[in-house]
Amino acid sequence: MMTTLSSREFNQDASKAKKAALKGPVFITDRGKPAHVLLSIEEYLRLTSQQQSMAELLSMPEANEIQFEAPRLGGTLYKPAEFD
């Protein structure tokens, strides 16, 4: 379960954030944008104790809740060869 709190909510009720972190990541926003993530120590150790492949990370049950939009590349991706 993911929880999102504004930085103001986090400052006013840190115990609520700590309780929520026991159930899943707590995203703390600053001006409406995610700025920090609070995790339980168990979750942090689980994530940092082993290297996981991208496929393993995407197969996590929580992966369907992650919102991600890849940035678009600008300009051309190639340059024509010059034969001067």
Q: How many domains are contained in the chain?
A: 1
73, part of any domain: no
35, part of any domain: yes
**pLDDT per residue as tens, the chain (84 positions):** 889 999 999 999 999 999 999 999 999 999 999 999 999 998 888 888 777 677 776 777 776 777 777 777 777 777 788 887
Domain of 43, in residue numbers: 3-65
11, part of any domain: yes
79, part of any domain: no
74, part of any domain: no
Integer Cα distance of 13 and 8 in angstroms: 9
Going 30 to 61 to 13 to 44, the CA torsion angle's sign is negative
70, part of any domain: no
pTM over 0.85: no
Q: Please enumerate, as own/partner, the contacts of 34-43 that have beta carbons within 8 Å and a separation of 24 or more.
A: 34/4, 35/7, 38/10
Q: What's the CATH number where 57 sits?
A: 3.40.1620.10
- Furthest C-alpha separation in the chain: 69
10, part of any domain: yes
